[in-house]
């Protein structure tokens, strides 16, 4: 039994004393204790070493006492396991030296045995569960098939992922074959993570908002739905689509336990679009964490009033930025813990 089950209760839609809170990318570069480990080990070494990944996962919990931990790893370990080379270049970010651009390239992509290829992630889950001592739930995650395709085809981060979109629009058969291979791998991967001990999973569709509503259904949501349908009997699933407010109505019809939203949609509109029925998660502008702590506290209280304390998980609308002062992150978490309705 998990001692602090606020997060799991909110996912079930049960009433809570106050909403639970965690932050996307909460294990990251704004934490001095993270930077100390980062100086000694490169990115994928941190991901692949269970002692390091588990230690990094619990760092923010120790410091701030969030209501859920999220495993330190990356969405790009999945394409790595599928025979696609992925590097993390300092100053550049993700870098794939041989991007996928043709059916031939897609043919070389494998659907691996995840227990072998990603066994180190399962070891990290088990090590983290031991460190957490059932104090708070552990979230496992994966990128959406579309967001993974974005990196595989573009080869790096991008403002518009034009090459990824061009691939989908000019070679749709190859694109769908790749999306299905990623989906099959992701489903097997998340099932193993559940078996290893995660209490919920989140699908990050960070670049879903690059697509038109129609293209979103064809190239992203269809595949996310396969993942939700397969995982939901096993574990609550959170679907986070950045910039995807246009799809909220459709997303709310799925079996997802919760939907993540970013700051470009108001709580009121997000609730209306989702029929007031599903748990929502978000949506504080990460840059707002640079406002003075007193302003952060006031804004967080208003955000909870606007979403309502039930069927709600407090979070940012995207990952925390590296230059956020640690006491501002604390103000965000404390505002939720001190919440009293207006």
Catalytic residue IDs? 25, 29, 38, 74, 151
Our CB check for ligand CP3 shows the closer of 241 and 271 to be 241
Nearest to 207 by CA among 240, 175, 174, 229: 240
Judged by beta carbon, residue 63 or residue 309, the one nearer ligand CP3 is: 63
Site for ligand CP3 in 112-171 (CB under 6 A): 141, 143, 157
Minimum gap (Å) between residue 88 Cβ and ligand CP3? 6
Tell me the number of residues near ligand CP3 by CB under 6 A.
22
Phi, psi of 325 (to 5 degrees): -65, 145
β-strand partners of 279: 258
Per-residue contact flags (x/-) with ligand CP3 for residues 87 to 116, judged by CB under 6 A: -x----xx----------------------
DSSP 8-state secondary structure symbol assigned to residue 160: S
Pairing of strands 200-205, 138-143: parallel
- Cβ neighbours of residue 95 under 8 Å, at least 6 residues apart? 86, 87, 88, 89, 155, 156
Q: What SS3 class is residue 167?
A: helix
> What's the DSSP call for residue 289?
G
Distances (CA, A) of 281 to 139, 152, 173, 259, 289: 14, 28, 34, 6, 17
Minimum CB–partner distance for residue 214 and ligand CP3 (Å): 23
Near ligand CP3 in 52-81, by CB under 6 A: 70, 72, 74-76
* CB 242, min distance to ligand CP3, A: 6
Of the pair 139, 271, the CB lying nearest ligand CP3 is at: 139
Determine, following the binding rule CB under 6 A, whether residue 267 of this chain makes contact with ligand CP3.
no
Closest CB to ligand CP3 among residues 26, 186: 26
- The reply to whether 38 sits near ligand CP3 by the rule CB under 6 A is yes
Nearer to ligand CP3, 128 or 274 (CB): 128
Q: Should residue 319 be labelled a site residue for ligand CP3 when binding is judged by CB under 6 A?
A: yes
Enter the tokens of residue 107: 């043919």
Task: Tell me the longest C-alpha to C-alpha distance in the chain.
Answer: 59
58: Cβ contacts below 8 Å, ≥ 6 apart: 69, 128, 131, 132
Binding site for ligand CP3 (CB under 6 A): 24-29, 38, 43, 70, 72, 74-76, 88, 93-94, 141, 143, 157, 204, 206, 319
């Amino acid at each position: 039994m998990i001692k602090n089950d606020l997060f799991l209760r909110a996912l079930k839609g049960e009433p809570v004393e106050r909403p639970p809170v965690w932050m996307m990318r909460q294990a990251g570069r704004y934490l001095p204790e993270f930077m100390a480990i980062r100086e000694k080990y490169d990115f994928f070494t941190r991901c692949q070493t269970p002692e390091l990944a588990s230690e990094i996962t619990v760092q923010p919990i120790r410091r701030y006492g969030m209501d859920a931990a999220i495993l330190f790893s990356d969405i790009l370990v999945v394409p790595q396991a599928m025979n696609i080379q992925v590097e993390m270049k300092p100053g550049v970010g993700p870098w794939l030296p041989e991007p996928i651009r043709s059916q031939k390239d897609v043919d070389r992509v494998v659907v691996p045995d995840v227990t072998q290829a990603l066994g180190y992630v399962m070891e990290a889950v088990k090590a983290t569960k031991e460190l957490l001592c059932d104090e708070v739930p552990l979230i496992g995650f994966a990128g959406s098939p579309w967001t993974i395709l974005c990196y595989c085809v573009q080869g790096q981060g991008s403002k518009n992922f034009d090459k990824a979109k061009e691939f989908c629009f000019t070679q749709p058969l190859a694109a769908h074959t790749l999306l299905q291979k990623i989906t099959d791998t992701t489903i097997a991967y998340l099932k193993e993570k559940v078996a290893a001990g995660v209490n919920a999973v989140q699908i990050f569709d960070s670049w879903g908002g690059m697509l038109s509503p129609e293209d979103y259904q064809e190239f992203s949501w269809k595949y996310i739905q396969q993942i939700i349908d397969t995982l939901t009997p096993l574990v609550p699933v959170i679907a986070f689509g950045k910039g995807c407010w246009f799809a909220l109505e459709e997303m709310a019809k799925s079996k997802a336990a919760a939907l993540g939203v970013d700051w470009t949609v108001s709580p009121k509109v997000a609730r209306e679009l989702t029929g007031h029925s599903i748990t929502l998660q978000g949506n504080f502008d990460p840059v707002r964490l640079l406002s003075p702590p007193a302003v952060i506290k006031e804004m967080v209280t208003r955000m909870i009033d606007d979403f309502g304390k039930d069927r709600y998980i407090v979070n940012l609308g995207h990952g925390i930025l590296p230059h956020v002062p640690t006491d501002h992150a604390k103000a965000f978490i404390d505002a939720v813990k001190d919440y009293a309705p207006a």
